[in-house]
Amino acid sequence: MSLENFPSTEIPQTPPPQPPKSSMRSFIVAALIIALLATWGYIIWDRSKQQEKDDLSTKEIATAISQKDTLQNLLDDATNRFDSLKTTDVKKDSTIDAQDKDIAAKKAKIQSILSKSNATKTELAQAKDMIASLNQSITGYKASIDSLQTANTQLTAQNQVVTSQRDMVQKSFDSTEQVVKQKDTLIDIGSTLHASGFDILGIDQKSNGKEKQTDNAKKVNKLRISFNLDENLIAQTGSKTLYVCIYGPDGKPISVEELGSGTFSTRDGEQKTYTQKIDVDYVQAKRQTVSFDWKQNTNFSIGDYKIEVYNNGFKIGEGVAHLKKGGLFG
């Protein structure tokens, strides 16, 4: 079988028409403009977002500063309350001291947070909670102070009652004591002895011991003094001290220290010189006689010798002896 050449029935393909060069250029320019606009749009959007972030950060900082200022004001108010309570005039106890230390520690911790320049939200929240706790502690502190003030007021009232009662008792005691003192004084004065019946003799004692009564001053070498102690119903039985003061004719007291002379005080506070001190065993309500001799180292002078006797600071009696010049030959 032979092949025959027949004319082809396929229709030839016509290439697409090429756009004009001017249209292509316009397309590219439009694409570039669109890309440029998109870039600018992104830049504008990005800057807007950054501005929002900056505005938010600034707002957060301002909020934080405002919150710190508020918290600081709250802390200052709490501190002022606490300081005014500390000046309260009340005697504090161990409980108050413990509360005082606890409040001071809380204040210091809160202040350390608020003093930070970059305190976080968490720290500020913690400071806020701590201020609330601090105020509760201060309220408890005030309650303790009020309780102590009440107790102190009650104690003061009780002390005033006790003081008043004590003063009344003291006044009564003082009055009683005064009465007792007055009574004791009266008894003391009433128990003072009384001397009477003075007998004062000049004695001439010979070398052999024999004695002769004389009023010749030249011959007298001792005075024999005797007197009675009268009955006393108040004076108790026991030893009584008598001070005998002998005054010479010149009016001066005779005092010889080596013979026992000295000084004593009267009830008026006067210091008197005594010639001889005598201790007497006195019996209550009994009359008894006291007798003693005074022998001095020098001769007796012509004139009056006055004898005074003291007991219990009072002069209880006195007597006088007169020694005269001797006869023709003295």
Q: Are residues 203 and 265 in the same domain?
A: yes
Look up the domain containing 293 and give its range: 195-323
Task: Please tell me the distance from the alpha carbon of residue 321 to that of residue 304, in angstroms, as a whole number.
Answer: 6
Task: Please tell me the distance from the alpha carbon of residue 215 to that of residue 213, in angstroms, as a whole number.
Answer: 7
pLDDT of the residue at 208? 94
Is residue 237 in some structural domain?
Answer: yes
Average pLDDT over residues 249-274: 96
Q: Are residues 180 and 214 in the same domain?
A: no
Residue 326: CB atoms within 10 A of its CB come to: 14
Distance (Å) of CA 181 to CA 80, 174, 193: 62, 10, 20
Query: Is residue 9 pLDDT above 70, yes or no?
Result: no
Q: Are residues 130 and 206 in the same domain?
A: no
Average pLDDT over residues 168-172: 79
195: confidence class by pLDDT, cuts 50, 70, 90: very high
Residue reference for tokens 């002895």: 193
Domain boundary among 190, 207, 226: 190
Domain boundary among 142, 157, 190: 190
What CATH number corresponds to the domain at position 312?
A: 2.60.40.10
- Rounded to the nearest 5°, which phi and psi values hold at 268? -85, 0
Greater model confidence, 125 or 5:
125
pLDDT of the residue at 100? 81
pLDDT in tens, 147-157: 877 877 887 88
Is residue 1 in some structural domain?
Answer: no
Q: Name the domain count of the chain.
A: 2
pLDDT of the residue at 95? 80
Task: Please tell me the distance from the alpha carbon of residue 306 to that of residue 98, in angstroms, as a whole number.
Answer: 85
pLDDT of the residue at 6? 47
pLDDT of the residue at 150? 84
Average pLDDT over residues 296-305: 92
pLDDT in tens, 55-112: 656 666 667 678 778 988 988 888 888 887 777 766 667 788 888 888 889 889 898 8
pLDDT of the residue at 1? 43
Q: Are residues 53 and 201 in the same domain?
A: no
Angle at 165 between CA 160 and CA 171, to 5 degrees: 120
Q: Are residues 236 and 148 in the same domain?
A: no
Q: Are residues 229 and 169 in the same domain?
A: no
Q: Are residues 38 and 121 in the same domain?
A: yes
- Least confident range from 18-32, 51-65, 188-202: namely 51-65
Helix axes 94-114, 21-86, angle to 10 degrees: 160
Query: Is residue 44 pLDDT above 60, yes or no?
Result: yes
Domain boundary among 142, 159, 190: 190
Is residue 240 in some structural domain?
Answer: yes
Query: Is residue 3 pLDDT above 60, yes or no?
Result: no
Q: What secondary structure, in 3-state letters, does 167-234 show?
A: HHHHHHHHHHHHHHHHHHHHHHHHCCCCEEEEEEEEEEECCCCCEEECCECCCCCEEEEEEEECCCCC
Residue reference for tokens 């022998």: 295
Query: Is residue 33 pLDDT above 80, yes or no?
Result: yes
Q: Are residues 116 and 180 in the same domain?
A: yes
pLDDT of the residue at 18? 59
pLDDT of the residue at 261? 97
pLDDT of the residue at 190? 95
Q: Are residues 254 and 150 in the same domain?
A: no
Q: Are residues 30 and 108 in the same domain?
A: yes
**Are residues 282 and 329 in contact, defined by beta-carbon separation less than 8 angstroms?**
no
- Least confident range from 4-18, 203-217, 249-263, 281-295: namely 4-18
Average pLDDT over residues 131-150: 85
pLDDT of the residue at 112? 85
